[in-house]
Structure 1
């Protein structure tokens, strides 16, 4: 059975650029690739494809096992699934709570009977609160409008919960996302690299 955990998504490192510096794309955002296809475009039913879209899994200490979504063990649901490496494929949806990295393996049963599950990644959404991927939640693989950040060193910030429940207090909130820095509102005090179609996050001090 194949299961790999890749749950370190909260507190994604972001590049910050103030003054005359330009914005650079955050490595956590990932640009969309038009020729990359999801490995499963819709729900397949429990067990038909390993962790396909709309299927669920239970979280263990070092593994993540596929279970029925009606199971008491179900912890999170797959909202998108892609083949290949997360650094080379499409970005997960903004509401993703964490990314599950799936390695090649030889389970006792699989979707086509060849004994292998292809390498890929699943974008997961918790079935219950908390949802760190929501705006202001303090985590998730992407930083979006509504998220808060704190200074984590020279020229860098990290995401944290806007309600102050995280280890670090929020210092800035991302209020909008625009294609280029010049389009940020005049009140902007910090520029945060978000990636995607609108890669510049315009943030103000809280």
Structure 2
């Protein structure tokens, strides 16, 4: 698994049958879990989501760790497709493959994940290929070049240990964190499970499928 801050390898894998899959960008949850019990997370946070709008010929295939992909020019703005890793259209590499889930909160990718993409299989042609489909798996992707907002402390991606948050549980870059910021020491189900250095255990609103309910905040 690629560690935060490292540069992923770029295996020369052929897109092959992967190009026949509908790949839907569902920039799921980038921070979606961080909502204090007293209110929703600030809408200006790094969280984002988008409606699927891609197409495929429905021939089938599956993703593996190390496969690459990028934006699908035929299905803007949210469509993604498979590319060879050395192709100019490739922008990310699959860091980890998860099972598909109808509960966005249930998808928890590793640190270093810059984008999360739902892959679905579509049958038919023409307008039938616009959206929908049968979810097959979820790709945790890391950018091949450029910035890595998913690295711990970088201020983007899903919330992971090592990130920084404000007193209202909004994720921020640790390098620019203010005096009210906390370091995420752990993500647990019960506040009693937080490590001893925790000074601000933040209990979150209920979210089906999310693997944690408490953010253990400590000194930055």
Is contact 2:165–2:171 with CA below 8 Å preserved after alignment? yes
Deviations 1:45-72 (A, max 9, x none): xx99344321101125321121000112
- SS for the counterpart of 2:121 is coil
The answer to whether 1:101 aligns with 2:133 is no
TM-score by length of 2: 0.58
Structure 2 CA distance, aligned partners of 1:67 and 1:107? 22
The answer to whether 1:174 aligns with 2:191 is no
Give the equivalent residue in structure 2 for 1:31. Answer: none
> CA 1:186–1:93 in 2, change beyond 3 Å: closer, same or farther?
closer
Q: List alignment gaps of at least 5 residues for structure 2.
A: 1-19, 39-46, 48-58, 126-132, 205-209
Give 1:84 deviation, angstroms: 2.7
Structure 2 CA distance, aligned partners of 1:68 and 1:169? 45
Q: CA RMSD in A?
A: 3.7
The answer to whether 1:123 aligns with 2:140 is yes
Structure 1 CA distance, aligned partners of 2:179 and 2:25? 28
Structure 2 CA distance, aligned partners of 1:185 and 1:120? 33
Give the equivalent residue in structure 1 for 2:3. Answer: none
Structure 1 CA distance, aligned partners of 2:196 and 2:37? 16
Give the equivalent residue in structure 1 for 2:7. Answer: none
TM-score by length of 1: 0.61
The answer to whether 1:203 aligns with 2:220 is no
Is contact 1:145–1:201 with CA below 8 Å preserved after alignment? no
Structure 2 CA distance, aligned partners of 1:158 and 1:107? 42
Higher fraction of helix:
2
Structure 1 CA distance, aligned partners of 2:135 and 2:195? 45
Structure 1 CA distance, aligned partners of 2:136 and 2:188? 34
Q: How many pairs were matched up?
A: 164
Structure 1 segments of 4+ aligned residues over 6 angstroms from their partners: none
- SS for the counterpart of 2:201 is strand
What are the equivalent positions in structure 2 for 1:65-144 lying under 5 Å apart?
65-85=81-101, 87=103, 91-106=108-123, 118-141=135-158, 143-144=159-160
Give the equivalent residue in structure 1 for 2:200. Answer: 190
Is contact 1:10–1:140 with CA below 8 Å preserved after alignment? yes
